[in-house]
Amino acid sequence: MSEPRIAPGRLAELGPINWLIWRVLSKATGTTDAHLFSTLGRQRRLFRAWLRFSAQLMPGGRISRHDTELVILRVAHLRQCQYEIDHHERIGRRVGVDDAIVARIFEGPAASGWNDRHRALLTAVDELVRVKNIGDETWRELRTHYDERQLIELCLLVGQYEMLATTIATLRIARDY
């Protein structure tokens, strides 16, 4: 990846609140500098509003943490966002998404081993990312597994991580090592 278009901020650029948030989130994600947060934190008020919104989807959403990680990793794979993949492979392991499941996520909804719910979920992600809508057949299948609030959340979750992949790519945010 090329040089970042916007360098990660430090105390002067982030301000004391965002600097503290960045330090805590870096530690929580197992890195000394979570570049996503030290970059987005430069847009001070929007950063905090985005964090509140994001937290309502992950980890605070109505969709199970396991299913949430399937969604995020599928979006990251489809968008070729290695930054998201790095973080969510690590986070996913905490909720039972092991290397074999990650390989199936990357293979897609047609991979063998998915139950009906997960196949419908991953199909919906593919449709949302590729055509920006969920087809009627997929929607009918999703409704057998998720309630209305979860279905709204699914649309927002996919949109959130697609937006994030776009932002990461455009700003050329460096991966955390």
Per-residue pLDDT of the chain (177 residues; tens, 9 = 90+): 589 999 999 999 999 999 999 999 999 888 899 999 999 999 999 999 999 999 999 999 999 999 999 999 999 999 999 999 999 999 999 999 999 999 999 999 999 999 999 999 999 999 999 999 999 999 999 999 999 999 999 999 999 999 999 999 999 999 997
Is residue 101 included in any domain, yes or no?
yes
**Contact predicate 83/36, CB 8 Å:** yes
**Residues 70 and 49 occupy one common structural domain:** no
Contact present, 132 and 49 (Cβ < 8 Å) = no
Within a domain: 4: no
- Say if residue 118 is in the same domain as residue 160: yes
Q: Is residue 6 part of a domain?
A: no
Domain span at residue 25 reads 11-57
Q: Which long-range contacts (CB under 8 A, 24 or more apart) does 124-132 make?
A: 124/154, 124/158, 125/71, 125/74, 125/75, 125/78, 125/158, 126/74, 126/78, 128/155, 128/158, 128/159, 128/162, 129/74, 129/75, 129/78, 129/79, 129/158, 129/162, 130/78
* Cα 122 from Cα 101, distance rounded (Å): 12
Contacts 24+ apart (CB under 8 A), 94-103: 95/65, 95/66, 95/69, 96/66, 97/66, 97/69, 97/70, 97/73, 101/70, 102/73
Residue 156 lies in a domain: yes
User: Domain total for the chain?
Assistant: 2
Q: For position 113, what pLDDT does the model report?
A: 96
Instruction: Please indicate, yes or no, whether residues 80 and 146 belong to a single structural domain of this protein.
Output: yes
The pLDDT score that the predictor gives to residue 2 is 85
